[in-house]
Structure 1
Amino acid sequence: MMKPKPTLSLLALLVHLLLSGCGGPPKPAETPLPGEVNPPTTPQEDLARGMRAMQQGNYESAIEAYQRAIQKDERNVEAWLHLGEAYELSGNPEEAVAQYKKVLELDPTHLEAYHALGRLYERFENYGAAAMVYGRALEQYPEKRELYYKTATAMLEAGSLHGAESVSREALERDPDDARALLLLGKALLAQGKLDGARNAFEAVVARDPLQTEAYTLLGVVFMRMGKIEDAQVNLAKALDLNPDLAAAHYNLALAIRGQRHRLPEALQHLEKAVALEPDDPDIREELARTYFEMGMYDEAANEMKRVIHDDPENPERYLFLAKIYEQMNEVGASIQALSKATQLLGRD
């Protein structure tokens, strides 16, 4: 016996149920509402987000991302390092120092952190601390030539002359032909007044690198201190032949020839060039003022000394010289005022 076929109304009802129930099209996913908690991220994902923010120059977002990574993993060295970089680039170097120190606390062999921390101490002109940082790095990496240079340079700036000499000699033990180490050794010896040793070091530099203008300039300084003025002039002139824009060479050559009165105009030209190259150097400006004075150009001398004193108002010798200039100009009141200021500063000392 055949089964009866469903009626049309029953078919319509079945179609309606299929379309409106589980057989219908899927509903779109709901968009998270503002303020909903984001799904948790791993420290590596936070690091990646921080790096992307750094590339975009969004340092505040980078700092937040690195801090989240650290909250999840306090021993994440790379997160601490990048956090320091973000603080440094955002203009907060003091906070960067703390992060780099944390890196080295977690990993005392982290070379990049040593370089970053030393660089910041140099920026703060805390050369003693910079020398200590580079010295610690050198203990970890005695094969890294650059660390010898950085350590010796920071020691020179900090006034640790024996230390700078020692580190330079260590570098030369590894490579006797290292011209940069020889240059640093010469600087350390010159600063200690060891003129023969400094001369030997600088001459060894130019023998290895005939284009080393700084070595020629410093040889000129050594020869001046030895009283060998002609040799000084030869080396300073050589430095300027190689590079006419060396303020130190112009300055020292002027000092070498200023003792010959007929060469005062030539000395003046060198000092004016040096000032143009290094306008903020008070020593060069003072020598320019003294040369003006010796040539009878008192107005120019007074103007230069006033500029020098404006930048360095605590030097009594400069007030004394200004008083002498005013005396030659018959400006008695100004001379007395400068003398009074010099006396005040000397009394304070």
Structure 2
Amino acid sequence: MALDSNEHPEESISKFESMLKTDDVYFFDSEDFEEIIHHYLNNGKVSLGKKAIQIGLEQHPNSLELKLLRVEVLVFEDRYEDAEKILDELQNIDANNEEILIQRANIQSKQDNHQGAVDLLLEALQKADDNFDIHSLLGMEYLFMDDFEKAKRSFMRCVEFDDRDYSSLYNVIYCFEFLEDFDGAIHYLNTYLERNPYCEVAWHQLGKMYYIMDMYPEALTAFDFAIISDDSFIGAYFEKGKVLEKLGKYNEAIENYETTISIEDPTSHAYLRIGRCHEKLGNNDLAKYYYYNTVHEDPLLDKGWLAITDFHYKLKNYEKALYYINKAINIDGENPLYWKKCAKIYYALKNFDEADFAYKQTVDLGNYEMDTWCNWADVLRKIGDFGSSIQVLVQALEFYPESAELVYKLAGVYLKNNEILNAKGKLAEAMQLDIEKLQLFEEDFPEFNGVQWLQTLVSEIKKAST
């Protein structure tokens, strides 16, 4: 029973599924099978797609397109040898079919041979007389190879084929961003907008580029045009709010964030931004309300927990700050930012043993920022463990060997530990690195300011540097 070629794809799919449930056998055109198979594969129903391929090849054993779809499924299942055998057969039948080369490239890509994939795609491009899909695949392969310049050119060709191919447009801008060519991105988008003046996606991307360049008035204008082009474009309202925050226009920023909530379901990011704006305006109760909504909406958003912790920390409500940072740690104990904030709170509470443990966790989890090392060393100094403080600072200098601040601090701890020779050596080294930062040492270790040999050393180094 052949189906009318004018029937809608939905009817073909319905009849195919009816056939699977009964003993009836329907005949479909090969084009109908292609539509049915694409439907299933695009919707992740691989087993039904495979069934359609099997029946399709039984009815149309010589269909090259159905065999290529069979190859596509084999590649998806990592059955590369089986796929290559079919491709070899197909190449003997139609050596000029670019789809065979595309599938071979797909196999090479999945095996991480991206240069091999590129070579095959370039060969396919010669056979296909400029093909949108091939340029798109080339762009992705170049991205895998971190060749952002070539990737950018490939995606630009895709946009030339189809101005509404926003996926490629995003990829073009991504390449510009990675290359840090923001001026190039702005020029490209403005040229694109001359052809497509009501493209909200391009206006949105242009606004983001202006934002990165600190060109806030231009960014506002771009986001306004994005909103004019599509007044339900949440991203444009959100980014406009960020610009208004930068300009100190917090009430206007709040209005834009609230618009995003009115258009769609509230997001934790919108709540967080509104909370920060209210905090800047001194509306502490409202700030607290939105921060609590942030962590309620998304308990795994680290910025939300840090914001509510910082809120109480700034008000010197250290016990409440500790309560909330510990809640965050219970959710994600592998987050170094949580442990670092926890350490600072314990330090403020003068609970130095717990602060020591928290800083150790921070470093063990990969946070090697200089203030982490400095603060950890200070904590160890507070509890009188000068040896461990020295070890921490020595370790820090492996990451920041040119830091005069660390060397001054190490010299001071050597002095506290009565290691005079090491202290003298480090002080001389620190002053040679940056004599101006000697005041940091004097502020940090005021008990040594009157030591005669230290004053003599300072005089000698100052004379030598003049």
Higher RCO (CA < 8 A, seq sep 6+)? 1
- Runs of at least 5 residues in structure 2 that lack an aligned partner in the other structure: 1-91, 394-403, 409-429, 438-466
Distance 1:215 1:300 in 2: 34
Deviation track 1:148-182 (CA, whole Å, cap 9, x = no partner) reads 44444455456554443332122123344543322
What displacement does 1:239 show?
2.3
* Structure 1 unaligned residues grouped into runs of 5+: 1-37
Evaluate the alpha carbon distance shift between residue 307 and residue 49 of structure 1 in structure 2; reply closer, same or farther with a 3 A threshold.
same
TM-score, normalising length: structure 1: 0.68
2:145 maps to 1:92:
yes
How far residue 221 of structure 1 moved from its aligned partner, in angstroms, is 0.8
Aligned to 2:406: 341
- Structure 1 counterpart SS, 2:198: coil
Partner in structure 2 of residue 197 of structure 1 = 252
Q: CA deviation at 1:248?
A: 1.6
Going from structure 1 to structure 2, the CA distance change for 1:309 and 1:243 (only over 3 Å counts) comes to closer
Displacement of 1:208: 3.9
Paired amino acid for 1:119: Y
1:118 and 2:173 matched? yes
Moved more, 226-235 or 185-194: 185-194
Aligned to 2:229: 174
Match of 1:324 among 355, 358, 378: 378
Amino acid at match of 2:141: A
Compared with structure 1, are the counterparts of its residues 194 and 107 closer, same or farther at alpha carbon in structure 2 (3 Å cutoff)? closer
Residue equivalent to 1:302: 356
**Considering only CA atoms, is the larger Rg found in Structure 1 or Structure 2?**
1
| Aligned residue type for 1:253 | I
Shift in Å, 1:231: 1.4
**Using a 3 Å threshold, how does the CA distance of structure 1 residues 290 and 134 change in structure 2: closer, same or farther?**
farther
Residue in 1 that maps onto 2:302: 247
1:288 is the counterpart of 2:339: no
- Mapping for residues 67-82 of structure 1, pairs under 5 Å: 67-71=122-126, 78-82=133-137
Matched, 1:65 2:120: yes
- Compared with structure 1, are the counterparts of its residues 270 and 106 closer, same or farther at alpha carbon in structure 2 (3 Å cutoff)? closer
- Is the 1:84–1:98 Cα contact (8 Å) retained in structure 2? yes
Change over 3 Å in CA distance of 1:239–1:157 after alignment to 2: same
Residue pair 2:138, 2:154 contacting (<8 A) in 1 also: no
The letter of the residue matching 1:341 is L
Q: How does 1:14-33 map to 2 (within 5 A)?
A: none
What is the count of residue pairs matched by the alignment? 303
Given that residues 205 and 215 in structure 1 are in contact (C-alpha distance below 8 angstroms), is that contact kept between their aligned partners in structure 2? yes
Q: Is the 8 A contact 2:101 2:123 kept in 1?
A: no
Q: What are the Cα deviations for residues 123-162 of structure 1, in whole angstroms up to 9, with x where unaligned?
A: x484837954556544543433333444444554565544
Q: Give distance in 1, aligned partners of 2:333 and 2:248.
A: 26
Report SS of the residue matched to 1:93: coil
- Amino acid aligned to 1:169: D
Q: Which amino acid aligns with 1:50?
A: L
Identity of aligned residues (%): 16
Q: How many angstroms apart in 2 are the aligned matches of 1:265 and 1:303?
A: 18
Q: 2:324 aligns with which of 270, 293, 303?
A: 270
Which of residues 269, 279, 282 is equivalent to 1:227?
282
Which is further off, 125-134 or 295-304? Answer: 125-134
Alpha-carbon shift at residue 260 of structure 1 (Å) = 4.9
Contact 1:320 1:342 in 2 (8 A): no
1:101 aligns with 2:153: yes
Q: Give the aligned residue type for 1:98.
A: K
Contact 1:247 1:274 in 2 (8 A): yes
CA contact (8 A) 2:105 2:120 kept: no
In structure 2, give the amino acid aligned to 1:51: I
Aligned to 2:60: none
Assess if the C-alpha contact under 8 Å between 1:326 and 1:334 holds in 2: yes
Greater shift in the superposed pair: 201-210 or 288-297? 201-210
Deviation at 1:98, TM superposition (A): 0.6
Query: What are the within-5 Å matches in structure 2 for residues 144-183 of structure 1?
Result: 144-153=199-208, 155-156=210-211, 159-183=214-238
Describe the shift of the 1:49–1:165 C-alpha distance in structure 2 as closer, same or farther (beyond 3 A): same
Q: How far did 1:237 drift?
A: 1.3
Q: 1:248·1:274 contact (CA, 8 Å) conserved in 2?
A: no
Superposed CA RMSD = 4.1
Q: Name the CA shift for 1:138/1:312 in 2 (closer, same or farther; >3 Å).
A: farther
- Residues 223 and 141 from structure 1, CA distance in 2 versus in 1: closer, same or farther, beyond 3 angstroms? same
Per-residue CA deviations over 1:216-261 (Å, capped at 9, x if unaligned) read: 1111111112222211101111223333332222111111122455
Give the TM-score normalised by structure 2. 0.53
| 2:156 aligned partner, one-letter code | L
For residues 277 and 148 of structure 1, what CA distance do their matches in structure 2 show?
Answer: 37
**8 A Cα contact 1:221 1:232, kept in partner:** yes
